[in-house]
Amino acid sequence: MLKTLLSLTLFLLSLAASLAAQTTTTVSRPPASSEASPADELARRGPSSRTPDASEAARFPEPESGAVDRDVYANPYFALSYRLPQGWTESLKGPPPSDTGYYVLSSLKTAESTPGSNGMILISAWDMFFLPRPAGNPLGLLQDMKETLSPVYVLEMPPKEIKVGNHSFARFGYTAAELHWQVLVTEVRCHFVEFAFVGRDTELLDGLVQGMNTLKLPPEAEVAAKDSAGFPACVKDYASGDNVLHKVDPVMAGPRFTSVPVRIIIGADGRVKHIHVIHAFPDQARSVEDALAQWVFKPYRRNGVAREVETGILFKFPADEEKLPPVKETY
Amino acid sequence: MARRKFAQLFSAPADAVAEFVGARIGQRVAETPASIEVSIQKAGRKTRRRTPLITMFATALFLAGTALAQTDPGVRGGAAGAGGSLSGLNADEQAFFQAATKRFQEVDSVSGNVPGENGSGLGPRMNMNSCAGCHAQPAIGGSSPLTNPQVAFAHDAGATNTLPSFITANGPVREVRFISNANGTPDGGVHDLFTITGRSDATNQPNPSGQNITCSLTQPNFAQQVANHNAIFRIPTPTFGLGLIENVSDTTLIQNSTNPLNGVFGISGAFNHSGNDGTITRFGWKAQNKSLLIFAAEAYNVEQGVTNEGFPQEREEDPNCQFNKLPEDNTSIPGPVANNGNNASDYSSDIVNFAGFMRMTEPPAQATVTASVANGEKVFDAVGCALCHVKSQTTGNSIFTAQSQRTINPFADFKTHNMGARLADGVTQGGADGRHFRTAPLWGAGQRIFFLHDGRADDLLEAIRDHASNGSEANSSVELFLRTLTRQQQQDVLNFLRSL
């Protein structure tokens, strides 16, 4: 009797275990209010921007200012718009831009009501002026990605150049853990704009890549020329050497040994028209903005005509040559 | 909690299932003649209980009807996979480690004359009276134990402390920090839980001038701070293997953290740096501490109130609470301060011994790699977890025998990453702001009880889910884990983590 009861018990336990692999569970979540921490408002690192002539502020969107509205992700900085695939929705917000000029522009997911076809789309951008691993073009970025891929991934599509609509992209595909990735990258305003698609279903992914044909980007010729009427030219290291006629160094602020990447737009008159501090503590951002507003540059010229130019500067706190007294370690 | 414990059954071997059923039922039901003997393993302690078989049967029926999905297998039982000295040390180094381990276990009182509390210098304000009291699970040097020693310590030697609401018998060991000062400026510092008020060695006792004094301090108003949402918590970080981490070069850390694939997962992160020499700092929840010696010295002063050669001033300078000459812990000139069988250790200060203990502890050992564990590691890698929880680092040239160019597996890049609104604590330390935390090393996760900086999770699945919220760099990886993996793949990842 005892033996039978024990056998039955173990049988039921194993049945429960096998069922466990097929059914869902609900893990209790902290209340939504836990997302709204008052702590969050204090001294957070992030972006900041200033347009000295406030009347022109609307002319200068930032890379992070895109949003999903009525099933379209629109980003005025990149003049990009992407219609969300049917049944997809915006997911959690990504982090603010990083100190290497990396942006999570938008994260998209399949709606909860479509189990079995779950996937993700991550739209992101790298500022080419601050890349931690330099790459000259989208294909170079993906080739570098391929070379450093973990052995867990299996190559499905080596990096290659393709056309999406009328735009040049580089594309790369790989798989692991029954998931498949398709990564497409293009270049806009000296940024690599990246679409990463991931899911279990290769047909789903192929459909998503096909759907990229509806993507709207600035005309390729304008991007290539880098000085169209729509965009300022983007020129690496323009704010250096003889191009700088007058400069004021930022005052040391915030934690030491931190870097602050900044993009500025210089007007045809050589004055700073817009400052975008990509990643800084608030007092560092103020210091940089106050200083840069006073800089004067030699006007950028193309074909003999002075034009607006966009460039990047990396400020270090403290500057390399700056000597400061020691600080107490914090615990 | 009950749900988790039940759920653990489904991924556990049959003997563990029997153990579990015994644990749940044996605690509530009186023994009957119709019972079988099962063993309970809870946080490394084994006891024996007798469990009624009929109740087991009823429980099995219940479980069959409410089968759960992927679950944290729970704290791995068996011997502690950590706590010993580094493999390959020579005899002198091992002798120092053994002596330093004793010093790490030293219990402090104010005077050093309280029975069982031979160390001196405790307080006036503190969180605990021994390093090993908090760094205890699964062995000396680890993290928070199952039973919180702070509960009993609140009234140690006659102390009259009130226990704050966030310190509970079965909760994690915690320190508390206040986010901002009353005037709204940032605070971020540790506010000690307890005082020496009422202790026998702080009441009508002589100060260094021979004058009898009585310490009478009040605790901060923690209830008010909690009500104002101004209190955040930290639990002890495990110290196993930290000497090897201390020895990894900055160049190696940078190389191992710069992966072009980061952009596919929304990951960036940044290293924290010493404000003095600019090199990468790597210890503490926000990677705010440069070296193990600084870490030990500061913790000794902050957590136990013992002034030392690194931090020679009392944080609380009420003249009626100063019973000792300063610093209370120091290198011995007249003779050894301890008698633990190693001259280098015995003549050295406590903080040098604490740092020495941490520098010479072996990293946690991984348990047997099953097929599920092996697959779990691949899935963990595939969904991007391994981009921050970088598996391997390599040490540089080490002064310790056989520790140079050693490949270790901490599963951490030691960068700080934005962990989003849900985990934000509002405290800035160096370059890490209120949302940034250091990637926690995962070695030893299999035998940890509490997870995340404040110990809010005692379940790995819960801890993983807490990695995702608006602003977090982990969102893509967590979404992939939760929404695209099969339940078996998720279970494999959890099994892998509990193997570490």
pLDDT tens, residue order, chain B (500 aa): 333 333 343 333 333 333 333 232 223 223 233 332 222 233 333 333 334 444 444 444 444 433 457 899 999 999 998 999 999 999 999 999 999 999 999 999 999 999 999 999 999 999 999 999 999 999 999 999 999 999 999 999 999 999 999 999 999 999 999 999 999 999 999 999 999 999 999 999 999 999 999 999 999 999 999 999 999 999 999 999 999 999 999 999 999 999 999 999 999 999 999 999 999 999 999 999 999 999 999 999 999 999 999 999 999 999 999 999 999 999 988 889 899 999 999 999 999 999 999 999 999 999 999 999 999 999 999 999 999 999 999 999 999 999 999 999 999 999 999 999 999 999 999 999 999 999 999 999 999 999 999 999 999 999 999 999 999 999 999 999 999 999 999 999 999 999 99
The residue of chain B with its CA nearest to that of A181 is: B264
Using a CB-CB cut-off of 8 Å, the residues of chain A touching B431 are 45, 255, 257-258
The residue of chain B with its CA nearest to that of A320 is: B278
Handedness of CA B431, B436, B441, B447 (dihedral sign): positive
Phi, psi of A234 (to 5 degrees): -115, 125
Tokens of B312: 């020679």
User: Do residues B433 and A43 touch, judged by C-beta distance below 8 A?
Assistant: yes
Long-range contacts: A202-205, Cβ < 8 Å, 24+? A204/A117, A204/A119, A205/A119, A205/A180
Question: With 80 as the cut, is the pLDDT of residue A23 above it?
Answer: no
Euclidean distance between CA atoms B43 and B47, whole angstroms:
11
Tokens of B6: 């039940």
Euclidean distance between CA atoms B278 and B276, whole angstroms:
6
Euclidean distance between CA atoms B493 and B377, whole angstroms:
6
User: Do residues B429 and B378 touch, judged by C-beta distance below 8 A?
Assistant: no
Q: Got the DSSP string for A65-115?
A: G-EEETTEEEETTTTEEEEPPTTEEE----PPP-TT-EEEEEEEEE-TT-T
| pLDDT at res. A319 | 82
Tokens of B96: 């120092």
Handedness of CA A28, A31, A34, A36 (dihedral sign): positive
Element (H, E) at B389: none
Using a CB-CB cut-off of 8 Å, the residues of chain B touching A43 are 186, 428, 433-434
| pLDDT at res. A114 | 57
- Give the mean pLDDT of A93-120: 87
Element (H, E) at B67: none
CB contact under 8 A, B63 and A12: yes
Neighbours of A181 (CB within 10 A): 21
Mutation site, A3, A6, A10, A40, interface B, largest B CB count within 10 A? A40
As for the ipTM of the complex, it is 0.86
User: Do residues A96 and A45 touch, judged by C-beta distance below 8 A?
Assistant: yes
Q: Is B183 part of the contact surface with chain A (CB cutoff 8 Å)?
A: no
Residue B31 DSSP one-character state: -
| pLDDT at res. B43 | 35
CB contact under 8 A, B68 and A107: no
Q: ω before A318 within 30° of 0 (cis)? A: yes
Residue A307 DSSP one-character state: E
- What is the rounded (10 degree) CA torsion for B354, B360, B364, B366? 180
Euclidean distance between CA atoms B234 and B257, whole angstroms:
25
Question: What is the C-alpha radius of gyration for chain B, rounded to an integer number of angstroms?
Answer: 24
Question: With 50 as the cut, is the pLDDT of residue A235 above it?
Answer: yes
Of B61, B426, B465, the CB nearest to A42: B426
Q: How confident is the model at residue A324 (pLDDT cuts 50, 70, 90)?
A: low
The residue of chain B with its CA nearest to that of A118 is: B484
Neighbours of A317 (CB within 10 A): 24
Residue B109 DSSP one-character state: -
Cα of B92 to nearest chain A Cα, Å? 32
The residue of chain B with its CA nearest to that of A135 is: B260
Q: Is A54 part of the contact surface with chain B (CB cutoff 8 Å)?
A: no
Query: Comparing B261 with A165, which gets the higher pLDDT?
Result: B261
Tokens of B42: 């809870």
CB contact under 8 A, A145 and B383: no
Neighbours of A305 (CB within 10 A): 10
Neighbours of A211 (CB within 10 A): 18
Cβ neighbours of residue A19 closer than 8 Å, sequence gap 6 or more: B64, B67
CB contact under 8 A, A39 and B487: no
Q: How confident is the model at residue A117 (pLDDT cuts 50, 70, 90)?
A: low
Which 23-82 residues of chain B touch chain A by CB within 8 A? 34, 36, 53-54, 56-57, 60-61, 63-71
3-state secondary structure at position B427: coil
Euclidean distance between CA atoms A272 and A296, whole angstroms:
7
Handedness of CA B17, B21, B22, B23 (dihedral sign): positive
CA distances to A256, B293, B308, B497 from B298, rounded to whole Å, are 20, 8, 9, 31
Element (H, E) at B333: none
CB contact under 8 A, B56 and A9: yes
Q: How confident is the model at residue A4 (pLDDT cuts 50, 70, 90)?
A: low
Which 122-151 residues of chain A touch chain B by CB within 8 A? 122, 124, 126, 132-133, 141, 144-145, 148-150
User: Do residues A181 and B477 touch, judged by C-beta distance below 8 A?
Assistant: no
Amino acid identity at B303 = E
Q: Is B237 part of the contact surface with chain A (CB cutoff 8 Å)?
A: no
CB contact under 8 A, A107 and B475: yes
Residue A42 DSSP one-character state: S
Euclidean distance between CA atoms B457 and B423, whole angstroms:
11
Which 274-313 residues of chain A touch chain B by CB within 8 A? 281
Nearest to B363, CA basis, from B406, B324, B424: B406
The residue of chain B with its CA nearest to that of A183 is: B264
pLDDT one-digit tens code per residue, A295-316: 999 999 999 999 999 999 999 9
Of A9, A95, A122, the CB nearest to B57: A9
Nearest to B141, CA basis, from B445, B286, B358: B358
Neighbours of A328 (CB within 10 A): 9
| pLDDT at res. B60 | 47
Please tell me which of A16-20, A85-89, B278-282 the model is most confident about, judged by mean pLDDT: B278-282
Cα of A96 to nearest chain B Cα, Å? 7
Q: Got the DSSP string for B148-199?
A: -THHHHTTGGG--PPPPTT--TTS---EEEESB-TTSSB---B--SEE-TT-
Residue A128 DSSP one-character state: T
3-state secondary structure at position A221: helix
- Return the biggest CA–CA distance within chain B: 73
User: Do residues B303 and B237 touch, judged by C-beta distance below 8 A?
Assistant: no
- Identify any residues that bridge with A331 across adjacent strands, giving them in sequence order: none
| pLDDT at res. A44 | 76
Element (H, E) at A263: strand A258-266
The share of chain A scoring above pLDDT 90, in percent, equals 69
- Identify any residues that bridge with B407 across adjacent strands, giving them in sequence order: B394
Using a CB-CB cut-off of 8 Å, the residues of chain A touching B54 are 5
Euclidean distance between CA atoms A249 and A288, whole angstroms:
8
Q: How confident is the model at residue A30 (pLDDT cuts 50, 70, 90)?
A: very low
pTM over 0.90: no
Euclidean distance between CA atoms B389 and B387, whole angstroms:
6
Euclidean distance between CA atoms A310 and A159, whole angstroms:
29
Nearest to A225, CA basis, from A217, A216, A237, A234: A234
Phi, psi of B452 (to 5 degrees): 75, 165
| pLDDT at res. B74 | 96
User: Do residues A123 and A193 touch, judged by C-beta distance below 8 A?
Assistant: yes
- Identify any residues that bridge with A178 across adjacent strands, giving them in sequence order: none
Mutation site, B11, B475, B490, B494, interface A, largest A CB count within 10 A? B475
Of B190, B433, B487, the CB nearest to A21: B487
Q: Is B65 exposed, middle or buried (0-12, 13-18, 19+ CB in 10 A)?
A: exposed
Nearest to A71, CA basis, from A57, A56, A58, A88: A88
Residue with tokens 């099953």: B370
Size of interface A-B (CB pairs under 8 A): 268
3-state secondary structure at position B493: helix
| pLDDT at res. A231 | 86
Query: Comparing A66 with B31, which gets the higher pLDDT?
Result: A66
Nearest to A319, CA basis, from A262, A246, A249, A243: A249
Mean pLDDT check: name the lowest of A1-15, A71-85, B241-255.
A1-15
CA distances to A119, A169, A204, B131 from A107, rounded to whole Å, are 11, 20, 17, 44
CB contact under 8 A, B299 and A16: no
Residue with tokens 């590691």: B377
